[in-house]
Amino acid sequence: DVKVTQSSRYLVKRTGEKVFLECVQDMDHENMFWYRQDPGLGLRLIYFSYDVKMKEKGDIPEGYSVSREKKERFSLILESASTNQTSMYLCASSFYEKLFFGSGTQLSVL
């Protein structure tokens, strides 16, 4: 089975902190994605990557950046966390059109 692992299930950070969310997949997938999930808004794409060192902006990239130094790892970075970034963050990798998701990280910014 494909495994997508997110490093933390819950995180609590303070406004202005730099936050790193880590994601690792074990199936050698080229495509990886970061989404945020908010009630009533569904999933919104933040950033995605089709290859190592390659990144593309999604629908809501403001306030975020990403890093993909190795194929299996895709990191989401909040340069200066703000309260409106409190959300559930979901990482995914894909094989053709099928996405495989991690369990998510619930981030609270106080």
Cβ closest to another protein, residue 8 vs residue 80:
8
Q: Which amino acid is at 78?
A: L
Among 84, 76, 81, 80, residue whose Cα is nearest residue 105 = 76
Task: Please answer whether residues 1 and 96 qualify as being in contact, where contact means their C-beta atoms are separated by less than 8 angstroms.
Answer: no
Write out the binding residues for another protein, residues 17-36 only, by CB under 8 A.
33, 35
Cβ closest to another protein, residue 80 vs residue 103:
103
Q: Using CB under 8 A, list all residues that contact another protein.
A: 4, 33, 35, 37, 40-45, 48, 58, 90, 92, 97-104
